[in-house]
Amino acid sequence: MTKQNPSTIVWLQGLTCNGNSHSFFNYEKLEVFSKNFHILHHPQINTQYSLHDVLESDFSFDFLVIEGALSKNPSILSRFEIPFTKIVDNLEKRARYIICAGSCASFGGIFRLNNPEEITGAVFNGKKQGGYWSEQKKNVINISGCPMHPEWFVQTLFTLRNSSNILLDEYKRPKEIFSYFVHHGCLRNEYFEWKVDCKDFGLKEGCLFYEHGCQGPMTHANCNKILWNKTSSKTRVGSACLGCTEFDFPKHALYETHKNMSLPATPFGISKRAYYSLAGIAKSFKIERLEKRLIDENN
């Protein structure tokens, strides 16, 4: 069996807080990663090449990782007095795959909220196709999240390295990761089913969907299946899911449940009539066990 050479990566940052880089740096098996992938350039760590070196070269590489939102306006985004358009145009032609790391690169994120005409994601401007690249590009893969989970990033790279066959959803996200909902695996699901509300943040009891803005039932991600640092998640510590993998993140009222005549939005893929009928029935039951503290220190 022939030993495969490490796949090569060039990491480029647009408008970003660096959060996706820091998330990746927390990957537990960086030693295994480094045996299979070679980062030629990253703006935050010591690498073999500087950005100038890469731009002046003519070599090809396997993955162009783009972190952060993009803009064609040089007054908004440039590097070393080089318009960002020239940098991206130079690099994307030499990459086998383009990986958009995080929600800003995927959809524009927080940066596009105030200026969606100038600041976008790579191939999406929010929900609409036609971001930085107005035409569809087959080799772009979005790994949304604020930040992306390091497992999502590494799993995607290994899949492409080993088979090159990867199924994508309508937003060019890997289906293996983004077919799930944050709701799947949430320890509060029984509270959700019986419409028992969480009284405050940080509590173990109650569902955060009805009063605290939790987006878990309509957010595509497997956070509650693989967990963060293999330990926990937002909902497990009593904080609402903010929907950070979706095209409309961030919403303006992150911790408020939008309601229409006291009724919240329906979970993904469920008709309003059916959901409100079931919710009304469930709410009529009073399950004493679910009204109590899980761990009562007084008893």
Q: pLDDT tens for residues 174-211?
A: 999 999 999 999 999 999 888 899 999 999 999 999 89
Residue 2 pLDDT more than 60?
no
Identify the three-state secondary structure at position 41.
Answer: strand
**pTM of full prediction above 0.75:** yes
Local confidence band at 41 (pLDDT 50, 70, 90 cut-offs): very high
All domains of the chain in start order, with CATH: 7-175 (3.40.50.700), 180-284 (4.10.480.10)
What does the block give as tokens for 13? 């940052």
Residue 134 pLDDT more than 90?
no
Pairing state of beta strands 95-101 and 61-67?
A: parallel
Q: Work out the percent of the chain whose per-residue pLDDT is above 90.
A: 76
Q: 63 and 95 in contact (C-beta within 8 Å)?
A: yes
Q: 112 and 121 in contact (C-beta within 8 Å)?
A: yes
Local confidence band at 114 (pLDDT 50, 70, 90 cut-offs): confident
pLDDT of amino acid 284: 67
pLDDT of amino acid 172: 96
What does the block give as tokens for 102? 């995080």
Q: Which of the residue ranges 42-51, 116-125, 148-157, 247-256 would you say has the lowest mean pLDDT?
A: 247-256
